[in-house]
Chain A
Amino acid sequence: MLLKIAGSIIVILSCSFLGFILSADCKKRPQQLRELQSQLQMFENQISYLSDVITDAFDRIGKIGGSETSVFFSETVTALRERKARSASEAWENAVRNNIKRTSLNREDEEILVSFGKILGSTDLDGQIKNIRLTLSQLKLQENKAEESRAKNENMYRSLGILGGIAVVIVLL
């Protein structure tokens, strides 16, 4: 009997834990989208006022850190410095594709980021700024959508976890 109770508790705890992870993930995506926007905003300021080259600007953004999305920037810098990529666009695309799994961003976000890289560094300042603004507005839309689904799903996942755990215990008992 004791064993059964212990087993049930473990099942309930792990299911709730799973629910909490999924619900935390819902919260993370809008947050990371917001961080990306502020990082791109920083990039815009750096190229328009300081006329920084991509490696310098991205280096600074990457070093501020504190965000899962910083790695896109720092990895682009590494690839460019070590001449592993033939262009800034290629370096950025690789950095995004290789690291997107480690963030909570979804496929749509990934495509927006990759298309941001398409003309990265290869036009004049006006072109760069227009590109950044376009990406910012797309990310804003994604953020709104993510925010909506967070409101819907956050609690659902959490309660689903606990209830699911209890359901499993009842069935097994």
Chain B
Amino acid sequence: MKTDMPINSGNIGKANKNIMDVLPILSGRIAKLIEKFAYFDQMQLEEIRLRAGKPIIFQNFNTEWFADQRGNLTRNPSEAFIVSQEDIRVTVELMSENSVYAYQDEIKNGYITIRGGHRIGLAGRVVTEDGVIKSLKDISGLNIRFSNQVFGCSKKILGYLLKGEADIYNTLVISPPQCGKTTILRDIARNLSNGIAEYNFKGIKVGIVDERSELAACYKGIPQNDVGIRTDVLDGCPKSKGMLMMIRSMSPRVIITDEIGNEGDREAVISVLNAGVKIITSAHGYNISELKSRREVLKLIEDRIFERYVVLGNSNGPGTLVEVVDGISMKPLRS
């Protein structure tokens, strides 16, 4: 494993946007520590983890590092920079803009989306009342997850989704965790919305129901990720309610939403189709037969709701296309 990568060897170029986005919300000590990382683009950081009394940890898709006191990356935990409880407290205060009350719902759900679309997960002591989570206090762990948009990652898939110049197939994207499901959905949304010159496809109105603020990653209601010019986003709205709301309010041609499979999702999907609107969604899973073990999804498959199944894998890095299956004949179109 490369130990001196890349802090001592990187070329100084334009500042890394991801790092610049998080600097303002980090405690002074930590911001100072990672400031210079901004100039080393090739790190492709995916996560920064802060835990009270534990070393700060940086992670990209295959490597993890600590940082020493001077901000050089190291793989030796004994000289690592230790995050203090105070660092966590200040960071939480800054990321909630000194206004915990305005973020209480986000905190209850365990994460906050910041400017730039990055998400910060929180761990601490949960306060419950009658079994309902009221808030989170004594926060001791933070996980800063960078949002990485990959433009054009759905290129291979798009061809299978288009039906003529302005119509598409109802599609279910199936993928194991960490295989780029959300990234692919986002790219699909962007392309359908903007139009695809290659297929002579004109842009259509897209409605994104973004229950967990992952697809569009809204900050104060404005999508931080590029989701296309004809796209409307309902942020933080429960999927089943949001889909119906979206149809009534914004009359989209297609609804895109992430991670279907909860109680009530099936009815919502059926009402979407009854309204003549198409749907593109995703589900956790390794293949179609595994999905059938999940009741809510099984019913959707049996009803032949989806006309295309796109299965993703991780064999050639995140977002590898495994197969595309025709939902009516259940025959693979490509494998």
Contacts and interface: CB of A to CB of B under 8 A. Distances in A.
B101 A55 contact: no
B135 A54 contact: no
**B-side binding surface: helix, strand, loop or mixed?**
helix
Contacts of A120: 98
Interface in A102-132: 120-125, 127-128
Secondary structure at the A interface, as helix, strand, loop or mixed, is loop
Interface string B89-128: 0100100111111101000000000000000000000000
Interface in B123-179: 135
A89 to B, nearest CB: 9
B107 to A, nearest CB: 9
A125 B104 contact: yes
Interface residues of B, number: 12
Contact of B99 (A83, A86, A88, A91): A88
B135 A53 contact: no
Nearest to A86: B90
Interface residues of A, number: 20
A120 B98 CA distance: 8
Given A86-B90, A87-B93, A121 B98 contact: yes
B98 A52 contact: no
Contacts of B100: 121-124
Given A54-B97, A88-B99, A125-B101, 20 more contacts: A47-B99, A47-B101, A47-B102, A51-B101, A52-B99, A52-B102, A53-B96, A54-B98, A54-B99, A55-B97, A55-B99, A86-B93, A87-B98, A120-B98, A121-B98, A121-B100, A121-B101, A123-B100, A123-B101, A125-B104
Interface of A: 47, 51-55, 80, 83, 86-88, 91, 120-125, 127-128
28 contacts: A47-B99, A51-B101, A51-B102, A52-B99, A52-B102, A53-B97, A53-B98, A53-B99, A53-B102, A54-B98, A54-B99, A55-B97, A55-B98, A80-B98, A86-B90, A88-B93, A91-B98, A121-B98, A121-B100, A121-B101, A122-B98, A122-B100, A123-B100, A124-B101, A124-B104, A124-B135, A125-B101, A127-B101
Interface of B: 28, 90, 93, 96-102, 104, 135
